[in-house]
Structure 1
Amino acid sequence: MKKIILTLVFASAMTTLSAQTENVESASTGTEFNKWSVELAGGVNKPQRPMSSGYFTSTPSPYVVDLGVRYMFNNKFGLKADFGYNSFEGKNNSADFDTKYYRVDLQGVANLGRIMNFETWTNTLGLLGHAGFGLAQLEDQNSSWKDRMGNFMAGVTGQIKLSNRIALTGDFTTILNATQDRAFDAVSNSGTRGFGGIIFNGTVGLTVYLGKNEKHADWVIDHEGKFDAIDARFMAIENKMLDSDKDGVADYLDEELSTPAGAMVDTKGRSIDKNNNNVPDETEAFIIKNYGSTTNNSPLLTNNELITSLINGGYVAVYFDFNKSTPTNVSTEGIDFMLTYLRNNPTASIDIVGHADEVGRSAYNDKLSNARANNVKNTLVKANVDASRLNVIAAGEDTSVDIDSENARRLVRRVTFRVK
């Protein structure tokens, strides 16, 4: 009988391990999960009855070994085939005896952790319930006597998830034997042919999850995949609705991401400049009010000190897309502004300062910032500005913004100017 049980368990385990762990998607969970697992545990036992007078074991007594293979139909219910071994020996003042108990069982499994919504308070603790029928054999190691019987077993298994592949388990199981002829000590008759034999097993072990998906059914939550998809959509919408420059126009519609907060802009986020002098009307109105002359029709063209401070303060800039040395279409207005300034101030010369964000190697970003500055210089030279008035400076990486923020990095992919 022992050889037959061992052969059946080994064949079942090998078949399971070689089975293809295909992708499974549950209608209730909405996500793919693994179905197969292998369980190995060991611990102690206590045969309750029948025991002959003067024969007993320790409480508890070693040893118990349990090997199981489990298949989950979904995240709540499955089947388990397992093989168990118990050793019974006389202890303390008991008469000497040595018997071994072998069993093989097929059990239904219920994931009580999912049924009772453990996920509302923990993501690492689980609970399984299991029950089923099987065959067993009790052997006396001091004789050739063997007793074959049927059994019914039920138990609960606590789980602690160590990773998506391994869980630590603790199990308590009760086994009822039917048609047991002898007591567990193999001395006297059992006295009953019904479910008279009782064994309590307590074990600690590991469950190893098989499959190529991220999670096993034990830890998959109902509608988890659907909720993840919804969260991803909400996140995408939130990212699109970001307004980095606080001008009231979402970034995905904004063609001018560096507009000062509160500035008047059009529907595309561009500063309003009705007189086309490359200075936003709101900024110009403030300058005229505070620095201009009510009798001067063009205060911005005559107040060179103010214009110089604006240029040197970085208010005039040319912006670039990621890994590009050609200005964006909307930022060429900065070049036009500098061209107007240089034509109105023929003795002035400027530094053209190129910048890059921190993404990539520093050496490459130095070259990129230099290429951006030279691109702006060449544009001014082609507009008949003497090259001797233009000095290129490669400032390299600008580390003043968060490297993980794409919107912030856009602000430092630029060329600025300094009047000398």
Structure 2
Amino acid sequence: MKKIILSTIMAGALAFGANAQEFDKWSLEVGGGFNKPMAPLGPDFLSPTLNLGHIEFGARYMFNEKFGLKLDYGFGSMREAQGNDSQSLPFDTKYFRMNLQGVANIGRIMNFESFTRSFGLLLHGGAGIGRVNPEENLFNDFDDDVYTIMFGLTPQLKLSKNIALVGDISTVLNGRQTVTWDGSTAIRPSTDNGFYGANGTWWTGTLGLQFYLGKSEEHADWFIAADKYATKEELATQINGIKDMLKDSDGDGVPDYLDKEPNTPAGARVNSSGMTMDSDGDGTPDHMDKCPFLPGPASTGGCPVEEIVEQVDFFRKALNDGYVNVYYAFDSDKPLGYSTSAANYVSNFLKKNPGVSVEVKGYADELGPEDYNMKLSERRAKAVYDLLIASGVDASRISYKGYGEDTSVDKSSADARQMARRASFEVK
């Protein structure tokens, strides 16, 4: 219990400190690769699937680790499809474009850090201006001024603190393009009124590098708030304060600041608030009650004056109906301190009743892979099995098994998931 609370408080303190940490915001980008004019093309003109001939440069500024802006410039040339099987007429067209684009860091937005710290993904989109300049065919040397709309994806591979290898695939739409990419045909009969819509379509694919500028530990692309490290002095101060908070004066496994009953008697069975449990509500606490699940007066040790059912039947009902459980923290197979009294209760009863045998049944919540949760539930059952053996119960009277995920609870509720992370018992 203490470790869970300590981890939670430390994570909160470090995350708070991280909000004040600066990260680098500027980067420069360079890349080169392929282009592909899609449309419009004149009759008998074909473009290659991959035309090597595109270069681009860019500068980017990130407002935070998720969003930014970049200005980039790209230029290159396009030629006809070549080869023995090509039926295309020749063309040679130069172009350039300049665009201002918004950038979204998908890696941070979608928490890629949960599975990788070296792979990222940027989404970009925006508008700008450009020019298409055919150098062959009817409209050679015609300056076709256009506006451009583009969007694309940029996968990133972090090579070092200052450099990342990037690829990019972008689609570009040219607006008011007057002639075909090959320069052979006016899109409309007259070049004077040929301005209409986003009628030119092409795409680029590049490979390049991003260079991060600044002196901070990370650029915004890779900055994760939870990674902020405190100094040794800060950690010492925080830990000493937390230790004071986690004092457990009565030794019941619940720290004083959460303990609603700070003077619990030694050996008492308590709940998560540190309060002595009285399962049958008869006024006799469980650790003093000889029949903790059947109400009775204190004069008979908490048992009914006239017992209709054998004590073993009480025990069987309490265990088989799920009243006695050992609980665990998330992704842990170490029993929470306040709940180990359940194992002590079972151990004491087994020692007094040598004819009774039990199975320890482990469960997990529905978070995480199913096969992993099955193994986790078995480790939880084994942990309680080991407690019972260590207490002196003969191993032949105990078995254990993991039952995987408990799907009977509401997995969207944190309290319900805590109830699912347990080991329960069944009388055999």
TM-score interval for Structure 1 and Structure 2 normalised by the shorter chain: 0.3 to 0.5
What TM-score comes out, normalization by structure 1 length?
Answer: 0.48
Larger radius of gyration, structure 1 or 2?
A: 1
